[in-house]
Structure 1
């Protein structure tokens, strides 16, 4: 008897009207679709914004002019294994800048060659002086 009473109470509390339940489910499905569409639009806006920021950073640093001094990144350099060896060589002088990021550079021997501008960066420092200090060591006098 008690079990039947609980079952009847559960049936009364749930809405067994199929038309009303169907409308509620229809609205839930459409609300889910709207939420999904908003999430998609927000992700597109986020991707556009981050792409704009990234492109701004890339384009600002890669504007070379004829006569600029640049360093060349050598990705194939494997002379010394270790973290402290620099793969940037140079400085080289930019002779001509072509469209789409290609540049012609000249080395110290006067040889001119073309390469992709992504492998270059501006050389802002002065000449590197290799100063070697000689320290003379004397044997201590023993008495």
Structure 2
């Protein structure tokens, strides 16, 4: 009470000032959430502009990414196998591939890349590097 008399404020004015301070504290997380949502939206737009859109075509030769490689094998095999022939493209991004033994299987479209070799030389691409040579 003596502090209120020192500041020469009345009780109503002090209560209003306290409520305004509490309201500002409640608004702070909302502003932080809004600015974080705006930042995420802008980053998504920036990222989506730089994504290369790839569309697969039936009859195209592609290489398949082999993600099941051992960490430290004696020989370093290539990460890509193939070429494979695309037989069907699904609307959700999956692709059906056909190998030289006519075995068909479905893979994610992000695991393939276009084969730039000659179409008549459809064989298994095998690159091996021997560690003993170094």
In the TM superposition, residue 84 of structure 1 has moved relative to its aligned partner by 5.1
Alignment partner of 1:42 is 2:35: yes
Query: Aligned residue for 1:95?
Result: 87
Contact 1:62 1:121 in 2 (8 A): no
In the TM superposition, residue 83 of structure 1 has moved relative to its aligned partner by 9.7
In the TM superposition, residue 105 of structure 1 has moved relative to its aligned partner by 0.9
In the TM superposition, residue 27 of structure 1 has moved relative to its aligned partner by 0.9
| Larger Rg belongs to | 1
Q: Deviations over 1:42-83 (max 9, x none)?
A: 21222233334445555x444211122222122223395279
Structure with higher helix content: 1
In the TM superposition, residue 96 of structure 1 has moved relative to its aligned partner by 1.0
Contact 1:92 1:106 in 2 (8 A): yes
TM-score, normalised relative to structure 1: 0.61
What stretches of structure 2 of length at least 5 have no aligned partner? 119-124, 128-134
Question: May I ask how many residue pairs the two structures share in their alignment?
Answer: 119
Aligned-pair Cα RMSD in Å: 3.4
What stretches of structure 1 of length at least 5 have no aligned partner? 1-7, 131-143
In the TM superposition, residue 41 of structure 1 has moved relative to its aligned partner by 1.4
Alignment partner of 1:18 is 2:11: yes
